[in-house]
A and B are shown apart, each in its own frame.
Chain A
Amino acid sequence: AQKITQTQPGMFVQEKEAVTLDCTYDTSDPSYGLFWYKQPSSGEMIFLIYQGSYDQQNATEGRYSLNFQKARKSANLVISASQLGDSAMYFCAMREVTGTASKLTFGTGTRLQVTL
Chain B
Amino acid sequence: EPEVTQTPSHQVTQMGQEVILRCVPISNHLYFYWYRQILGQKVEFLVSFYNNEISEKSEIFDDQFSVERPDGSNFTLKIRSTKLEDSAMYFCASSERKGITSGNTIYFGEGSWLTVV
Q: Which of B43, B56, B105 contacts A91 (CB 8 A)?
A: B43
Query: Of the 9-residue stretches A15-23, A45-53, A74-82, which lies at the interface with chain B?
Result: A45-53
Known contacts A52-B102, A55-B102, A98-B56: does B45 contact A103 (CB below 8 Å)?
yes
CB neighbors of B among A28-61 (8 A): 31-33, 35, 37, 42-47, 50-55, 59
Q: Which of A32, A35, A44, A91 contacts B110 (CB 8 A)?
A: A44
Note all chain B residues with C-beta closer than 8 A to A98: 56
Note all chain B residues with C-beta closer than 8 A to A109: 42
CB–CB A99/B56 < 8 A: yes
CB–CB B42/A52 < 8 A: no
CB–CB B106/A100 < 8 A: no
A-side residues, CB < 8 A to B, are 31-33, 35, 37, 42-47, 50-55, 59, 91, 93, 95, 97-109
CB–CB B100/A103 < 8 A: no
Q: How far is the CA of A109 from the CA of B41 in the complex (A)?
A: 9
Chain B residue nearest to A109 in the complex (CB): B42
Known contacts A91-B43, A101-B50, A101-B55: does B100 contact A37 (CB below 8 Å)?
no
CB–CB B100/A53 < 8 A: yes
Known contacts A43-B113, A44-B111: does B98 contact A102 (CB below 8 Å)?
yes
